[in-house]
Amino acid sequence: MAVRWGRWIDHLPLWVALGAALSTGIYEPAELLVMAAPLAIAAILEAFRWDFSRHHRWLEVGALLFFLGDLARGRGLFYVAIHTLFVLAGVRLILPREPSHQRQLLLMGFLLFLTTAIGATDFSFLFWTLAWSTSATLALLQQIWEPSAALRRGALSRPPYAQVPLWVGGALLLGAGFFVIMPRLSLGLRPGAFLGMTQGLGKAGMGDRLDLAGGGPIEPNPEVALRILPPAGMDPAAHPEWMRGLILLRGVTLESIQGSRWEPADLTPPFSFTPPGPGADATAEFLFSPSSHGILTLPAGLIGLAPSEVFLKGSGGSLRWRFQRARTAPLTVHWNPALPDMPEPYLSRRRLDLLTRLEPGHEAARVASFRYAPAIMPTPQLVQTLEASLRRFAYTLDNPSGKAANPLEDFLDRTQAGHCEYFASSMALMLRARGVAARVVNGYRLGPWIPEGGYFRVSQNEAHSWVEYWHEGRWRVSDPTPQGPATAAADAKKLGAVERWLDALSYRWERYIVRFSDQDQQEGLSWIQARFQGWQWRWKAPPAPALWSLGILAAAWLLLRTRGHWQPTPDSPGRIRALRPLLRATRNSAPPRPGETARSWLHRLGAQRPERREALADLAEAVDRLAYGSGKSAASALAKAEAAAWRGWKPPISP
């Protein structure tokens, strides 16, 4: 059994490395196909036991041509290195393998796993790490066991596979201990950054641009964008004002439009904090996940951020990370929930022209504005009327107008269905057609509350676009997107208990493992010190007889468990109880000689009866195992069978 399945163990580390790469989501389907194809072909050939040793030159030439072709594509050295390693591993698996080749395969699997593990921080990746450690341990065990098993005489024993979980668990505990006590060092590497890979387009998520000509449908994207933790001991449901300040999280304002594309404008003033005013100062901890744009999405009425030195003011009135983040970063956010609007008392003439500009391709928005609100109305009433008209449209991620020549016109006049970018863009342009300064804002809606973790989870599915219009010295919010499917992902009831529990577990993994810092080490040591300082010895020792009894039992158990290390090999067959039946059967034909050991005596019996030599060799192995504390039943059974074979046997008479 061990020999039959042992040949597949060389495949395991490479398949686990492929699975780990697949779980990260940083590789395109074509890349994964290139990685998986050599391993799949090698597995098929292994199953049929086809011998390609005669064609090894052609396989090597093919691998070289693949390397040169991949290099000529100019996709980057890391791409080429990963692809080539998988191809070489497949070639090595196809050909016959010596111990040195098995070590090469394990090294290839380690390098491939390392390219993925160097920047992966998700909790799920822990399971891939354990899987790879187990597969690598199995491969090393197989490589050590096979040469030693080939030298052993008698029946072939099984490799100690049962010890693998203990070894991996011990390594995990040792690694956890070093993780806690070693100084913190973070390289901050991300596979997507240093390999030059990017996520695929067409998924839900916030960006610093808006383009209605987006092509096909938008796919849901459950990737976590940020988590919002209320102050300790606070119940968000009991503080509606605190909640109201987080309904919409502002990211970037888009004031310039060209065709169907909105972009930040150079005339937009930089972000400025709102001075403290009436209303309570609300506080929360925002945990931002890494993003390509680095925009901080924050509540309106923002008063302050801490630490303040990690961000800078960017285009579109946004705040952005000063440096690209490779892992989740926390910020303490202070805002005034009573100030949901953005103050800007004065608009320059150039700025007002920009915020009311329409192009010829926006004529459909002008017509729709007068169609839905033909009468002259004050600005707030006009906004409410246009909002009510657009909310009769259908919300969908299918993007039915994305491939039209004029997506805006197609949305307003034909499909009347789209996602939030269409609603926000149409609303802003319809207000501009009536002389009202308007712009589009990209950000997030507040996501569901996760009671298992005590935070709000905002995923990329909550990415949202809405409108801000200028009225009486303030930017006021207008959200014409229908309330329905757009907020389904934000409904906590839509999340099952298992999904919430897994998300809370992922948060704790990220907080206490990925972001484990020297400050956490100091706090842990302070906690231990405080407990020891206040600790008093209150345990009453048991009576002395009980202690002596426990000591004697422990010593007896220790002697029994370690007798294989101190019990010598018997120097005479007569001292081994299991051999006594055979001694009686051979006392006339081949009794032991003075000073003869059990193994020597059994080999001498084999010389007298060559047809019993193999059985006697097995018995000698069993006697050795018995001498070191194991194999008692096997030795007794073999000795009884051998005694039955010797009964009545007489040595041949020499001529």
Q: What secondary structure, in 3-state letters, does 546-606 show?
A: HHHHHHHHHHHHHHHHCHHHHCCCCCCHHHCHHHHHHHHHCCCCCCCCCCCCHHHHHHHHH
Q: CB–CB of 249/298 below 8 Å?
A: yes
d(CA 538, CA 32) in angstroms, rounded, equals 62
Tell the residue number behind the tokens 């590497």, with chain if given.
Answer: 189
Measured in whole angstroms, the distance separating CA 284 from the mean position of its chain's CA atoms is 27
In this structure, what is the dihedral angle of CA atoms 614, 617, 618, 620, given to the nearest 10 degrees? 160
Joined tokens for residue 164: 């693998």
Exposure on the CB side of residue 105, measured as CA atoms within 13 A: 31
| Spans of the chain, pLDDT less than 70 | 1-6, 75, 118-122, 148-157, 178-202, 277-280, 484-494, 514-542, 560-571, 627-632, 653-655
pLDDT for res 10:
87
The pLDDT tens digits of the residues spanning 428-479 come to: 999 999 999 999 999 999 999 998 889 999 999 999 999 999 998 899 999 9
pLDDT for res 198:
37
Neighbours of 308 (CB within 10 A): 10
Q: CB–CB of 35/86 below 8 Å?
A: yes
pLDDT for res 190:
43
Measured in whole angstroms, the distance separating CA 492 from the mean position of its chain's CA atoms is 24
Q: Going edge to edge, which strands form the sheet with 224-229?
A: 302-306, 329-335, 282-288, 224-229, 455-459, 449-450
pLDDT for res 602:
86
Q: Which of 99, 104, 132, 103 is nearest to 117 (CA)?
A: 132
Distances (CA, A) of 459 to 245, 302, 421: 18, 22, 17
Query: Which amino acid is residue 173, in one-letter code?
Result: L
pLDDT for res 632:
64
Phi and psi torsions of 26, nearest 5°: -95, -5
Measured in whole angstroms, the distance separating CA 520 from the mean position of its chain's CA atoms is 23
Q: CB–CB of 26/191 below 8 Å?
A: yes
Phi and psi torsions of 177, nearest 5°: -65, -45
3-state secondary structure of 356: coil
pLDDT for res 45:
87
> Can you say whether the dihedral through the CA atoms of 528, 533, 534, 539 is positive or negative?
positive
